[in-house]
């Protein structure tokens, strides 16, 4: 049953041109991240103060394609290596969020009663703070750094996922096969893992995909505020923070390209996520 739902979702998603374009963009960035040492023209960390703030291909003779930053590092190479960091942060943070949110959501939805009440209250409380602010506060307590930023972002994504999973679990819980499983003596834990989980997988995939984009944005924001990746790590948000003072001198390329990289990565995940969501909504399917 789980396979038929998932396969159907994927079949409808494949018809959506925008979702496929999103997938294509994601694949490009994944390739860039994996092949970084092979395709990066320079070392992303080596400084060259004599050749700093040089323009790229648009000027007559650019030694580096997208120019260099205020330490003379090659911006293109830093963006290429940055893809590794942003994609990792996005995936790990969402994985943490899914793990926490799914556990809370399935437990709350399946058991109901006071467990449900307690968990949903916690979710309400976490929703009362803007996610980036919650992440900032968690980082303030855990300390700065990329690893802590990932944990912080993961925690802030859990409530959203918990709510969606809970709603879906309640729908699944009332099916006859759950009753059948209980009748043959399966434990609650076994029913949750073996029977409920596969049936909420499609919703989970949609939300996880949509969350990866926002997680990448939040990680960049933390990096920009100096709370995430620390210099000289070529993280896109931290690159924007590094170069912020060069804009007054008209060195626009330092601040433009890392942002474009963030924009397209997030766009890819948003397009794919939208496509997956539309494919799970039968009402939207008819119109498509």
The least distance separating another protein from the CB of residue 266, rounded to whole angstroms, comes to 4
Structure tokens at 93: 């943070």
The least distance separating another protein from the CB of residue 33, rounded to whole angstroms, comes to 18
Interface with another protein includes 118 (CB under 8 A)?
no
Task: Please pick, from the candidates 69, 235, 242, 255, the single residue that binds another protein as defined by CB under 8 A.
Answer: 255
Task: Please pick, from the candidates 17, 121, 190, 285, the single residue that binds another protein as defined by CB under 8 A.
Answer: 121
State which residue, 165 or 262, has the beta carbon closest to another protein.
Answer: 262
SS (HEC) of the chain: CHHHHHHHHHHHHHHCHHHHHHHHHHHHHHHHHHCHHHHCCCCCCCCCHHHCCCCCCCCCCCCCCCCECCCCCEHHHHHHHHHHHHHHHHHHHHHHHHHHHHHHHHHHHHHCHHHHHHHHHHHHHHHCCCHHHHHHHHHHHHCCCHHHHHHHHHHHHHHHHHHHHHHHHHHHHCCHHHHHHHHCCCCHHHHHHHHHHHHHHHHHHHHHHHHHHHHHHHHHHHHHCCCCCCCCCCCHHHHHHHCHHHHHHCCHHHHHHHHHHHHHHHHHHHHHHHHHHHHHCHHHHHHC
Interface with another protein includes 145 (CB under 8 A)?
no
User: How far is residue 210's CA from residue 49's CA, in Å, rounded to a whole number?
Assistant: 40
Only segment of 5-13, 167-175, 179-187, 248-256 that touches another protein (CB under 8 A):
248-256
Task: Please pick, from the candidates 125, 171, 180, 194, the single residue that binds another protein as defined by CB under 8 A.
Answer: 125
Would you tell me how many other CB atoms lie within 10 Å of the CB of residue 276?
25
Interface with another protein includes 211 (CB under 8 A)?
no
Task: Please pick, from the candidates 67, 213, 228, 234, the single residue that binds another protein as defined by CB under 8 A.
Answer: 213
Only segment of 2-10, 65-73, 132-140, 159-167 that touches another protein (CB under 8 A):
132-140
Structure tokens at 42: 């320079």
Task: Please pick, from the candidates 137, 171, 189, 288, the single residue that binds another protein as defined by CB under 8 A.
Answer: 137
Interface with another protein includes 193 (CB under 8 A)?
no
The least distance separating another protein from the CB of residue 278, rounded to whole angstroms, comes to 10
The least distance separating another protein from the CB of residue 57, rounded to whole angstroms, comes to 19
Only segment of 26-34, 102-110, 197-205, 215-223 that touches another protein (CB under 8 A):
215-223
Chain residues in the site for another protein (CB under 8 A)? 121, 124-125, 127-133, 136-141, 213, 217, 220-221, 224-227, 237, 240, 244, 247-248, 250, 252, 255-256, 258-259, 262-263, 266-267, 270-271
């Amino acid at each position: 049953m789980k396979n038929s739902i998932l396969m159907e979702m994927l079949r409808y998603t494949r018809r959506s041109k925008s979702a496929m374009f999103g997938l294509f963009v994601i694949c490009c960035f994944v390739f860039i991240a994996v092949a970084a040492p092979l395709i990066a023209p320079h070392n992303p960390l080596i400084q060259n103060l004599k050749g700093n703030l040089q323009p790229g291909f648009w000027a007559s003779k650019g030694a580096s394609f997208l120019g260099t930053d205020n330490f003379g590092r090659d911006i293109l190479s830093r963006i290429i290596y940055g893809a590794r960091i942003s994609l990792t942060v996005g995936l790990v943070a969402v994985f943490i969020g899914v793990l926490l949110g799914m556990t809370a959501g399935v437990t709350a939805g399946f058991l109901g009663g006071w467990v449900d009440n307690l968990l949903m209250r916690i979710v309400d409380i976490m929703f009362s703070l803007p996610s980036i602010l919650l992440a900032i506060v968690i980082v303030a307590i855990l300390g700065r750094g990329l690893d802590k930023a990932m944990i912080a972002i993961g925690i802030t994504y859990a409530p959203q996922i918990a709510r969606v999973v809970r709603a879906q679990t309640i729908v699944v819980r009332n099916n006859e096969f759950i009753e059948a499983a209980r009748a043959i003596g399966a434990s609650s834990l076994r029913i949750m893992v073996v029977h409920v989980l596969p049936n909420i997988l499609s919703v989970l995939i949609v939300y996880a995909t949509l969350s990866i984009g926002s997680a990448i944005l939040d990680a960049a924001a933390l990096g920009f505020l100096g709370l995430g990746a620390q210099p000289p790590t070529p993280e896109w948000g931290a690159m924007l923070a590094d170069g912020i003072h060069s804009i007054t001198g008209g060195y626009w390329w330092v601040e433009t390209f890392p942002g474009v990289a963030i924009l397209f990565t997030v766009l890819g995940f948003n397009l794919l996520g939208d496509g997956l969501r539309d494919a799970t909504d039968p009402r939207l399917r008819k119109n498509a």
